Each structure stands twice: as C-alpha cells, then as structure tokens.
Chain A
Amino acid sequence: MLRPEQKQDLPVLRQVQGEIPISHRYTLGVAGERFFKAMRDQRQLLASPCPKCRDLLLPPKAYCPRCFVATAEAWSPLTGPGFVRGFTVVHRDLDELPLAAPEIVALIGWPEVRGGLVHRLQEVEPQQVALGMAVEPVWATQRTGCLADILHFRPAANH
C-alpha cells in the first residue's frame, strides 16, 4: 500500500500515444479513367448517359445507380457554364487552425446533368456568391489527370 503522499509523487501514466500510418491506392475505375483523361487531354468534362432514364451522370459512372443498368458508350462533353447548387465558406483547416483567408467551397451543377462537382470557388468575394450563379472551370496548365487539373471555378464570363 502506498501512502497518499507517495501516490502524488508518482508520474502521471494515463495514456500512451500511437500513430496509424495509412497510405492507400484508389482505383479510378473504367469511368473515372475516361473522365480524368478527357480533363487532362481535352480540358473537357464528360458525363455518362443512362440509356433508361436518359439522365447524364456527373461524375460519370459505368452504371446508373437509380436504374441499375450500364451507361451508354457515347459520353457527352458538358457545354456552357455550370451553376452554384450549394456553397459554404470554410474557416478552418484539417488541423482545426484558422485559414489565413476563408475559402469558398461550392457544389457545381450543370443544367443538363444529374450530379455535379464539388470544388473551390475563387476570383469572387464570399458575399457576392449566390445559389444559381453561373461558374466556369479554370484549368491548370500542367495537367496529370486528377481533380487538381481544375485549379478552381470562377464566375463565368458573359453571365
């Protein structure tokens, strides 16, 4: 038995710390491969059509999740600007630290598609963003076939 004063002298042993090093590969899949190749090589956003419900799916998928059928071979490039379906202004980073400048995150839709893309919205002040606002992608000069081939979206010219 320890006397109370001896107990207090003991170092605190309440926890040990551990780390989980997780690195992983994520396969793009047949649809993702074709989508990102078109971004890289043609600066084009492609959507895959469902032969049954006729919806255009973005990001494109090899199947329509609603109809449970394979999508058609002929994919359509999106023409014209997208529009802001949803947006927010985030103030902290993944380490919970305040961002130097708050960033606008938007869900961007296109009139002809089901789905859309989540991306950053720049070249605009947060107060000026509104639901329905027309936006266009700003492409990276060096593209490798990934989401970062689009640097960000910005308000569309002539809209």
Chain B
Amino acid sequence: MGGERIAIVGAGCTGLRLRTPEASFRELVFQAAQKAYADAGVRPQEVSAFVSVAENYNEGAAIADEYVPDQLGAVLKPVHAVAGDGITGLASLVMQLETGQLDIGVIEGHSKASNVLHPAHILALALDPIYTRPLRFHPHYVAGMEMRAFLAATGNTQEQAALAAAQNRKNALANPLAAYGASLTVEQVLASPPEAEPLKLGDIAPPADGAVVLVLARESMLGTLKGKPVFINGIGWSQDTPNIEDRELHRAAYAEQAAQMAYRMAGISDAASQIDLAEVDDTFSYKELQHLEALGLAPPGQAGNLLEAGVFSPQGRLPVNVSGGHLGCGYAHEMSSLRSVLEVVLQLRGEAGARQLPGARVGLAQSWRGIPTASGAVVVLGRE
C-alpha cells in the first residue's frame, strides 16, 4: 500500500452462541468493545473513526446504524455505517485511516440471529421483487442451484463438500469461541435432510449470536498503543450483478476479483505458497471449495482433492478455517467475516490457544455477503 501502513491493534469477541436471551445486542457489542479496547490499550475517547456493518431487516429496525454509538463509546463521534459484509466494512475503515486525518479506528459487527423469527422470509426480500421473489421459494434454492453447477463444472464432489463441513465442525471443537463444534463423519453430513438438492442441512452454517470489535491504527501510532499489531497488507472487494440469471452459476467471480485487488496491494504473486493460513467463507460447504479455487489457493477443480489429501487441515500445508469457519462457529450475519479476521489476528499473534498454528506469518480472510448476492471481500494480514 502507498503511504502509511494500517494495523489491527486490538480485538474483542463475545464468543458465538446459539442464543443469548439474557443480553441485548447492545450489551453484546459493549462486551466485545471492552475487550478490544483493553487489548489495544485505548480508551474510546481516543478513537477518531467508527464503522458499523449491519442490515436493517436482520436488526428489525429502520436506520439501525443509528443504534451504534452508545455501546461503542462513540456518541458524538464520526460513525460510518457500511451496508456490506464485515471485511467490506473493514476496507472502508482502512481507507479512512489512510487519509492521514484519523489515527485510531474501530469496527463493530454483531449478530442477534436468534431474534430473527422468520429468517427465510427476510432473505427472500433480497430476491428480485419482479422476476424471482414472486415464485415464493425458500431462498436457499439459489445455493442449491449454485452447488450443482459448481460440482458439475469443476468435478468436485458432494462428498468433498460434506468433508469440508465435517472438518470445520471438528476444527471448531478446539475453538472456545465456536458454537457448533462437533465430531461428524462425511456420511452423517450426507445423511442430513435435503434442503435444496444437492445441498443438505449439514452443508449449511447454522445461525449464531455474538459480537466482534476490532481496533485499527496507523503505523505511526503503534508506539503509543500496547496491542500487538497485525498489518493489513492488502484488501479488496468486488460485486457481481444482482441478477442470478446473468451470472456464471458455478463461479465465484467476485472472490477472484477481490483477491486480485488484495494480492496486488500485498505484493502476493503466488497465493498458494505465500499464504500460511486462510479463513474462507463457508456459509455453505461447497462455498469453501469454490472460494478456495477463486482465491487461487487451489487450482481449478482441485479444492476437493486437496481437502481430502489433508492440505487444508490444521496439520496441512495451508490450514483453512482452523477456527471452525462459519459451519463450526456459526453464521453471524455481517459479523461472520470479522470473526474470520479475528481468527487470523489471533493466529498471527500466536494467541490461538489449543488451535495455534506454528510459525504463521501471512494470513487471509475472505467474506461473501451471502444469498442471493455475489459480492465479497478479501484481506491479507501479516505479522510485518
């Protein structure tokens, strides 16, 4: 990147859980913010830029970002709401700090998925109101069609997608922040009820509640902060057409584009050999395989084979979703990908506990905005 570098200097997370009936979303964010500020060694008064990512319908409120300031210590401060996934919001914060006008920035993401009583109805509101929504299908049909197209075009198999689900659920057992750790076999995933064939229930990341707050700073501020810095070496984002009919169903073109943008910035020419670990969107099991190929972390058609060969396991050459991913941690709306970033930060700092990978220096986190979108973002993080 040109100019001064930007680092993540603090991270806080509530942990993800199936339900949080005792705490409001604001209290969850407050908890995460307290941890993040303590981690960075900052007071909210010292923060000059705040970013929030949330979707109104999931919040059950109009202009929901207006509810952001109090629980972050951001009252009468510049708050920027980003209608996008967590890493897209992170990109916005990075750009604000890169102006040189602001020193320390904070991003928050949260999920109170357990309070969304009719999630499929809300997701259906994202479908085109004239050409697709009138069919009144459960919106998971988009994932089912994509999955079939992806498997058919690349030669990856349904069993390999199920293995991604089983592996991530297993990885989550070593992550105290994860809500859905489990010992599952491929056969058990394949035997789960069909949702939108070939997609099964076991291929779908189940919902979770929680909050993540990250503190960022310009490099020149690092001397005054106690947090161990992890540098944002590259970041990119991309958005495909909203029309399902107009896309190549099998391909995650948005992830290819976002990765190219982030790699260019980070000076990455061969991602598969230069990245030490990756947290890749696995909202649906096949998405992990599709995204790995789009990110250049697996050659076309080879993600499933490399997964079977153990390349992406915690002991493998390129550990993927060692946190458990969304399948193992839980899908937490826009917060999901900030949780992915958090995992890379912990790994690069050497603070990932039982799941710590040895010697990780460069990590990648990738987001997808979910059904029915074809947009997402990529961030490359480094110890230096």
Instruction: Give A residues with C-beta under 8 Å from B.
Output: 14-15, 17-18, 20, 22, 24, 26, 28, 32, 58-59, 65, 85-96, 102-103, 105, 107, 109, 114-120, 126, 131, 146-148
Contact = CB atoms under 8 A, between A and B. Distances in A.
A94 B245 contact: no
Contacts of A92: 120, 138, 140, 195
Given A15-B21, A89-B196, A107 B245 contact: yes
Contacts of A102: 194, 197
A20 B61 CA distance: 8
B133 to A, nearest CB: 9
Contacts of A20: 57, 60
A86 B147 CA distance: 9
Contacts of B196: 88-91, 105
Contact of A90 (B60, B132, B137): B137
A107 B199 contact: no
Contacts of A58: 245
Given A86-B149, A89-B144, A107-B145, A15 B115 contact: yes
Given A59-B245, A88-B145, A88-B196, 6 more contacts: A14-B22, A32-B130, A91-B195, A94-B137, A115-B246, A148-B134
B245 A117 contact: yes
A148 B199 CA distance: 27
Interface residues of B, number: 42
B384 to A, nearest CB: 41
Nearest to A108: B245
Interface string B138-176: 101100111111001000000000000000000000000
B77 interface: no
Contact of B137 (A24, A105, A146): A105
Contacts of A24: 129
Nearest to B62: A20
Interface in B277-291: none
A90 B144 contact: yes
B249 A26 contact: no
A59 B198 CA distance: 27
Nearest to B194: A91
Contact of B246 (A86, A105, A114): A114
Given A90-B144, A105-B137, A126 B131 contact: no
Nearest to B121: A94
Contact of A18 (B60, B137, B246): B60
B134 A88 contact: no
Given A86-B145, A96-B120, A59 B60 contact: no
A118 B132 CA distance: 6
Contacts of B193: 91
